[in-house]
Amino acid sequence: MALPLILVSNDDGITAPGIRTLVKVAKKIGEVVVVAPDGPQSGMGHAITIGNTLRLDRSIAFDDLGVEAYECSGTPADCVKLAKFHVLKERKPDLVVSGINHGSNSSISVLYSGTMSAAIEAAIEGLPAIGFSLCDYGHEADFSHTEEFVELIIRQALEHGIPESTALNVNLPKKSDEPIKGVKVCRQAHAKWQEEFDERLDPRNRHYFWMTGSFVNFDKGEDTDEWALVNNYVSVVPCQFDMTAYHAMATLNEWDL
C-alpha cells in the first residue's frame, strides 16, 4: 500500500524551526514534499502575487531528512498553488499541512494568518488541510511537546477525512510544567486585537508608525479555542472559506432593493 502524500508549507519561512518539527512528524506517516516561502510571510493573510514574478527553487533545507523541498518567493497561498499546479502536477496530495507557526492563530488571528491561508488555499483547491500553530512567540520556543498531538491529528485526518471545503485550525499550548490535557474541538472565540499606533521618528527625522496593541477576548464561552488554550488543551476549529453571513440574509431581504 502506497504511503500518503503530504504537502507541507508555512508562513515563517522554509528555515523556521516549526516547519522542521512538522516535517519530522509528517515523515513518520507518509511521503513528504515541502513548498514553503523563502523568507518570513507572517500576517500576509490570503495574499497572492499578481504583479511580480514568482520564483521557485530547489531547497536543501531537508536533505538530511531525505525530503524533497522547494522555496518560493511568494506568499503561503502562492506556495500551495505552485505545489498543486507545478511541483505535484501529476499527483494529488492526500493532505496539506501548514506550520507549525511561531505564535498563536486562534480566534480572529485566523483572518490575518499566513499559516492558515496555506491551509485555506488547499481547501479551496479541494485538498484536505490543517494549519498548526504554537502559542509561543519566544525566540527559543520549544516545539517538542507538540509532536504527539500533531501526529495524532494528522493520522486521524488521513483515516477519517476532513469535510469538504473545510480546513482545520489547530493551536497548541505553549510548553509548561503541566502536560497538555488533551484535544478540544471548538468554535472560534469572539475576540479582537485592540491596536495602537506609536508615531516615531527615524534617524532622518521622518515620521513613521509602529503597530502595537493587546488582545481582547469578549467571549466567556467554554466551547471556544481561547478557553481551550487557556486551560491547556489543544484547540481544533473547523474553518471555511465561504464567508457569507447567512443569518443576515433575512434582514437584507427586507430592504427595498
| pLDDT per residue of the chain (257 residues) written in tens, 0 to 9 | 789 999 999 999 999 999 999 999 999 999 999 999 999 888 888 999 999 999 999 999 999 999 999 999 999 999 999 999 999 998 999 999 999 999 999 999 999 999 999 999 999 999 999 999 999 988 789 999 999 999 999 999 999 999 999 999 999 999 999 999 999 999 999 998 888 899 999 999 999 999 888 888 888 999 999 999 999 999 999 999 999 999 999 999 999 99
Cα 236 to Cα 78, 135, 169, 239: the distances in Å are: 25, 13, 6, 9
Residues 6+ apart with CB under 8 A from 236: 153, 168, 169, 170, 183, 184, 185, 186
Distance of alpha carbon 39 from alpha carbon 34, whole angstroms: 14
Distance of alpha carbon 257 from alpha carbon 247, whole angstroms: 18
**DSSP letter (8 states) at residue 81:** H
Is residue 69 within 8 A of residue 123, CB to CB? The reply is no
**DSSP letter (8 states) at residue 80:** H
Distance of alpha carbon 164 from alpha carbon 75, whole angstroms: 24
Q: Taking the model in full, what pTM does it have? A: 0.94
With 0-12 / 13-18 / 19 or more C-beta atoms within 10 angstroms meaning exposed / middle / buried, residue 164 is exposed
Residues 6+ apart with CB under 8 A from 76: 9, 10, 11, 36, 37, 41, 44, 98, 114, 115, 117, 118, 121
- pLDDT for residue 1: 74
**DSSP letter (8 states) at residue 108:** G
Q: Could you tell me which of 155, 5, 192 has the C-alpha nearest to residue 94?
A: 5
- pLDDT for residue 238: 98
Residue entry with cell 536543501: 60
Q: Could you tell me which of 175, 32, 193, 232 has the C-alpha nearest to residue 113?
A: 193
- pLDDT for residue 13: 95
